[in-house]
Amino acid sequence: MDGVSTAEPSRPPYETAPPAGPVAFLKGHGTENDFVVLPDPENGLDLSPATVARLCDRRAGIGGDGVLHVVRSAAHPEARHLADQAEWFMDYRNSDGSVAEMCGNGVRVFARYLQYAGHAGAGELAVATRGGVKKVHIAKGPAGDPDGGEITVRMGRAVLPGEDVTVTVGELSWPARHVDMGNPHAVAFVADLDQAGELRTAPEYAPAEVYPHGVNVEFVVDRGERHVAMRVHERGSGETRSCGTGACAVAVAAARRDGADPALTGVPATYTVDLPGGRLVITERPDGEVEMTGPAAIVAEGHISPALFVRSETADA
């Protein structure tokens, strides 16, 4: 999970009734950032915010940090202009039902689903997202490995706006680096990850106008040379086990702190980032592209009762 947009999700015109029968789903995760995967090539499902929240509920629903709605780009109004570049669109929703621009772990799980379903094989793949088209490489896995090889995603360029930002938890405050990976991040280097507190509620930040729609906040400690560990509060979700764009933001912030700027030196900067749910390897290339490499797995599939789908008109009731 990696952030939320203020835009309303585009919905199909026929949103007056729940599905006529059970809806197929899969469950997947990338470094324990877990998702409900909904294959819907022709964009026929009405995913109201209330429906998404129900699906992600870990007691009354399936449970997940978000929903990966799998739609052909040509069938979705937000992605039709990208259909000539990417066949599939990742219509991503946070667990509270809000619409997200991008999700790094989600892209890897999305790609693994396409491979699992026979829509893609090992090698190169393009995935359309609200943050643009992401180039993906699916490595060939060892023989007999059901999860396949690791997946590398070209996440785009990091933007470092340069504003002075402070994040606060309780009585502790830290300076933070503002990094934009298509969604906003505030990266704070701390002495101990426990200082971040419980992270179910959003840390305070200032100045508020830097992040008018909220921010993902990463707390980071050093583990070794170009090796860090992090915890994250994701807007719209709380603390999650992993955050792909957050790991990218952390690696870029650590590189600048360490005096490394590949655009100036011509030398790639690679950082190992440990998260509660696993490990990602992040490389910032001299051309500014940030690459993220890590695992992804499909762990279950089944069917959802139509009763979990809430009509858009009653979503806020």
Which one of 155, 165, 243, 292 is the catalytic residue? 243
**Is 248 annotated as catalytic?**
no
pLDDT in tens, 271-306: 999 999 999 999 999 999 999 999 999 999 999 999
Helices (H) and strands (E) in the chain, counts: 4, 18
Catalytic residue, from 90, 103, 111, 298: name it.
103
pLDDT band at 5 (very low <50, low <70, confident <90, very high): very low
For 89-127, how does the pLDDT look when each residue is reduced to its tens digit (9 = 90+)? Answer: 999 999 999 998 889 999 999 999 999 999 999 999 999
Domain map (residue ranges) of the chain: 23-150+297-314, 165-294
Supply φ then ψ for residue 108, to 5 degrees: -65, -45
The CATH classification number of 23-150+297-314 equals 3.10.310.10
Whether residue 147 contacts residue 140, with contact meaning beta carbons closer than 8 Å, is answered with no
- Is 103 one of the annotated active-site residues of the chain? yes
At 233-250, the pLDDT tens digits run 998 788 999 999 999 999
What backbone phi and psi angles, to 5 degrees, belong to 210?
-65, -35
C-beta of residue 296 within 8 angstroms of C-beta of residue 151: yes
Paired strand residues for 218: 187, 232
Q: What is the pTM of this model?
A: 0.88
**Nearest residue to 35 via CA among 94, 89, 80:** 94
pLDDT (average), residues 197-203: 93
Q: At 58, list the tokens.
A: 């870990």
Q: Where would I find the H helices in 188-316?
A: 244-257, 262-265
More confident residue, 146 or 42: 42
Fold of 165-294: Diaminopimelate Epimerase; Chain A, domain 1 (3.10.310)
